Amino acid sequence: MEKPNLQVHKPKKSWVKEARDWTVSLGVAVVAALLIQNYAFAQTEVRNVSMQKTLVEGQRLIEDKISYRFDSPERGDIVIIHGPESDKRLIKRVIGLPGDVINITGDGRVVLNGELQNEPYVKGRTFANGMEMPFTVPPKSVFVMGDNRENSQDSRELGPIAMSSLEGRAIFRLWPPDKFGGLD
């Protein structure tokens, strides 16, 4: 005995319902993208020379805006901070954490908690720039410097940076293509 050919026909969606579904999906995607951009990750462009040799002007980075909500920065992190002017953001390297004692020697080297630091990423010599040394990093603050030590507006001029001023941590280089990848 042959089975009858039963076909189930789904009712067609009206074009109005289809358009509404697409609009809702697109709206959800836009809202999700904006939330991610504002609260999780962002693209940042290097706009100065203070991080040379590591970063150069025009490079584009991915910034992690979440980590510091749950964890503290570490020495060596490349951070984005709110600068002294409200519209200015600075990219610097964390050198000292709360309680660390920083000293800069006469020959331009950094001593952290009594240990001479090996900083192969530094361009130029490090000077105190009028800051009294040794310097103890206060609670809830970090001491930051640019890698281009002779041309950087950083904690030597601005003082310690409040952790609440840390916008995020640079984690990945997008541009230029030949430098694509993680940060050193």
Active site residues: 50, 92
R_g (Cα) of the chain, nearest Å: 25
User: What is the Cα–Cα distance from 103 to 116, expressed in whole angstroms?
Assistant: 9
Structure tokens at 114: 């009594």
In terms of Cβ atoms closer than 10 Å to its own Cβ (0-12, 13-18, 19+), residue 30 is exposed
User: What is the Cα–Cα distance from 89 to 5, expressed in whole angstroms?
Assistant: 69
Q: Give the DSSP per-residue string, 53-70.
A: TT--TT-EEEEE-SHHHH
Strand order from edge to edge, sheet including 101-104 = 115-116, 110-112, 101-104, 135-136
Give phi and psi for 32, each to the nearest 5.
Answer: -60, -45
Name residues whose C-beta falls within 8 Å of residue 162's C-beta, 6 or more positions apart in sequence.
Answer: 140, 141
| 81 DSSP assignment | E
